[in-house]
Structure formats: C-alpha cells, structure tokens
Structure 1
Amino acid sequence: MREWARNHGLLLANIALFLVFFGAMIFTGAAAYSEDQVAHGQAAVTVGEYLGTGAFLEATFENWESEFLQMGMYVVLTAYLFQKGSSESKPVGKAAPQDEDPRTAKKGPHTPWPVRRGGWVLKVYEHSLSGLFLLLFLGSIALHAVGGAEAYSEEQLSHGQPAVTVLEYLGTSQFWFESFQNWQSEFLAVAVIVGASVYLREIRSAESKPVAEPHYETGS
C-alpha cells in the first residue's frame, strides 16, 4: 500500500487538495448566498439547497471551463510551438520522443492497446488527451451557461426585469465577462511558467530544469 501511494502520490495529493478546497468553496458559497438572500428578504438556504442553485453551478463551472481550456490548449500548443530555454518546451531543432510515429514503434504486451490495434483507433488515441480536455471544456461551459442563466434570471426578476433562457444568457456581456476574466488569468499563469522556467529553478521539480543547467538548454 505504501509503495502504491508513493507511485501515485502526485495524483492523490491533487485529488485531496481539490476535495478540501471544493468542500470549502461549497460551505463558504452557501454562507455567502444565504447572506445575500437574507439581505433581499429571502430565506437562507442549507448547504444541500445551495447545491441546487444556479449560483453554485455558475461559480463551479465558470472556473472549471477555464482550467480545461488552459490545459487543453497547452497540450496542443506545446506539440507545435517552442520556447528556447524553457523546461515546458520540447527541444528546439532536435528530435523529441513525443514526435515518434507510433506505427513504426516496437510493440510489446505493455504497449497501449490502441497502438497495437492501429487504424482509426490509433488516430483517435493520438489526440485523446486534447480530446478529453475539449469534451470537459464544452461540458463545463454548457453547465456554466445553465447555472449562469438561472442566477442571472433571479437577479433580473428581483429588479422587475424578465428572466432569460440559456441561449439568451449566452448573448449577454455577463456570460462572456465571467468567462474572459478566468481565461485571461489561466494563460497569464502559463506564460509565467513558460518564461520563468528559462531562468529560474526549483530543485527536484519535474517542471524545472536541473538547477545547474544553462539557461539556453531547452526541455528536460
């Protein structure tokens, strides 16, 4: 068990941190939502009731969509673009293992099944990582729109204005403001790690070059 935990420590730690912060978001979000309800003469809600509100869906998925967009775009951009000296880039002007054609690779019992199968299955598998992020992004942006439309309609009704449909909400500046305010920060963070990893180091981190490696060396 200890060996298994060590071998999967990075994933386990991130799942644990997600659960801690997601739980904290739910409880504090329910408290903030209840405070707003009471301020407008409405009844406070329980945590369970809060999970069924548009405010919860909006707050959750407008953030998730930006994360999945960032990671999906990063996967695609690093396949074709380079940054000399960055630990986040493939080597410039050199062959990289990621560029090898799996059709000519030596196949064994531990080779992924799609590679052994070949054909259209392999073609899909070659882009399965970016495909996963695309599906997660589209699902998140759809749920952001559903939750946002509900929350926006509640606000509209409280001011004597008509409610909106999900499609109508997609055409509002509010929806796109919520999206863009998250998207821009994600790509800023990516730009910082790409550029900073040329000159700065973090010993033992897979996201950093070896501490003594020259700045001009690209990748790991």
Structure 2
Amino acid sequence: MRFLHHNSLGLAFLAAFLLALAGQAVAGHAEFNNQLIADGLVPVSFGAYVTSSDFAVDVTENWQSEYLQFFLYIFATVWLLQRGSPESKELHKAGVESDKDQLVGEHAREDSPRWATVKGWRGTLYSRSLGLVMGAIFLLSWLAQSVAGVASHNEQQLRGLQAPTSWPEYLSSAEFWSRTLQNWQSELLAIGSMAVLAIYLRQRGSPESKPVGAAHTATGVEG
C-alpha cells in the first residue's frame, strides 16, 4: 500500500494511458474496417490493425506533439518568464541560476544525485538531462510518425492503383505537415493557456496552482 501511495500519480496516469490506448485501438479498428468495407475491401482482424502502419501513425503523431510540448516548455522556462504564473520561475531567477541555487558541485547535499556532485561533461549532461531526453523522445516519435505515415499513405495509394510515394517526398507533403501541425498548435495553445490562466485561477491543493489566497502577481509560487 505504501508503494501505491507513494507512486499513485504515475501509476494512475499509466493505467489511464493504457485504457485510452486500448480504447483508441478498438475504435480505430472499427473505423478502419468501415472504410475498407466502403471501398469494397475485406476487413482486417484486430491483431492485424494494431500492428499496421495506420494505427502506428495515429499513435506516434500524438506522442511526438506531447513530447515536443514538454521539451519546449522545459527549455523555454529557463529564460522566459510569466509574471504571476506558478508555471514560471520567480522574475529574478531567469537563466540557468548559480551552482549554489542548483545544489551542484561543492554545493551538493548528501542526498543529491551522484552526477550533481561532479563537474565536467557528466555534470553538464546531467544538469540538462530532462530536456535532452524529452527532445530525443520527441525526435524519435516524429521519425516513427514519418515512417509509419509514408507506409500508411502508400497503402492507400496502392488501393487506388496509384504510384507509391518515397519517404523524402512524404516529408514534404501536405498530409505529413497537416498531421504534424494540427497537433503542435493544440499543444502550444494548451500549455500557453495553462501558464496564463494559472495567474488568475486556482485549484486548491494542486502543485500546478498557486495557493488559493496568493496574490495574482505572485510568481513561481506553488500550492
């Protein structure tokens, strides 16, 4: 029970993710087969659908936009500020901050991560590891989206007895950028809205909100 209590946030979102992914697979399979039947083709099994490029491109295009959101936000909030928002650092802390503030090197504590206590490339890498990993996952997801997308696109081309498209051609196509940008714009709007709305609105008990009684101008304060 202690493990569940101490890890309830991550476990709850993992369970919700798996349920949503399963629901997407079921609904996507039904929609895909409806389209095949409308085109006069034979429906596919559930297993064939979830291992298809059509399912892969739908999943990865959402993953890449989510990780892009976090990657940009992690790096942007190092330097960019929003007065009154708990999503922003305090106004005088723009930048990478001092070693003392970040508890690195000789300022590290006994319980600090080991790589936070050393200088050189290991300390530099660890001090930027969160953003780098988020950026790497974004790029890999975007690559997977493009590979699955061109495979899905070419399947549709072959069904219509049309010539397949090469990967470089697909990367410059309207379909690829339409899929990409429709996710990017929604993620950027959501995260910008969160930063601004949290200036004036509150959620009692949430670390994503300021304390209910905090002033609208209070910046970098979490409840």
Q: Which residue of 2 aligns with 1:46?
A: 45
**Preserved contact between residue 62 and residue 183 of structure 2 (Cα < 8 Å):** yes
What code does the residue aligned with 1:99 have? E
The alignment covers a number of residue pairs equal to 217
- Structure 1 residue 95 displacement after superposition: 8.1
- Structure 1 residue 120 displacement after superposition: 0.7
Q: Which residue of 2 aligns with 1:122?
A: 123
Q: Which residue of 2 aligns with 1:106?
A: 108
- Structure 1 residue 117 displacement after superposition: 3.6
Q: Which residue of 2 aligns with 1:189?
A: 190
- Superposition TM-score, scaled by structure 2 size: 0.92
Rounded Cα–Cα distance in structure 2 between residues aligned with 1:4 and 1:53:
37
Q: Which residue of 2 aligns with 1:198?
A: 199
Rounded Cα–Cα distance in structure 1 between residues aligned with 2:61 and 2:108:
43
Q: Which residue of 2 aligns with 1:31?
A: 30
- Structure 1 residue 8 displacement after superposition: 1.1
Q: Which residue of 1 aligns with 2:151?
A: 150
Q: Which residue of 1 aligns with 2:56?
A: 57
Rounded Cα–Cα distance in structure 2 between residues aligned with 1:134 and 1:118:
23
Q: Which residue of 2 aligns with 1:161?
A: 162
Name stretches of at least 5 consecutive residues in structure 1 with no aligned partner: none
**Preserved contact between residue 106 and residue 117 of structure 2 (Cα < 8 Å):** no
- Structure 1 residue 25 displacement after superposition: 0.6
1:66-145 matches, within 5 Å, as 66-94=65-93, 99-101=97-99, 102-108=104-110, 110-145=111-146
Rounded Cα–Cα distance in structure 2 between residues aligned with 1:106 and 1:193:
32
- Structure 1 residue 107 displacement after superposition: 3.5
Task: Provide Cα deviations, 1:32-64, integer angstroms capped at 9, x if missing partner.
Answer: 111111111221111210122111111000110
- Superposition TM-score, scaled by structure 1 size: 0.94
Name stretches of at least 5 consecutive residues in structure 2 with no aligned partner: none
**Preserved contact between residue 81 and residue 88 of structure 2 (Cα < 8 Å):** yes
Matched, 1:11 2:10: yes
- Structure 1 residue 94 displacement after superposition: 4.8
What code does the residue aligned with 2:156 have? E
CA 1:55/1:95 → structure 2, altered by over 3 Å: closer, same or farther?
A: closer
Rounded Cα–Cα distance in structure 2 between residues aligned with 1:94 and 1:23:
43
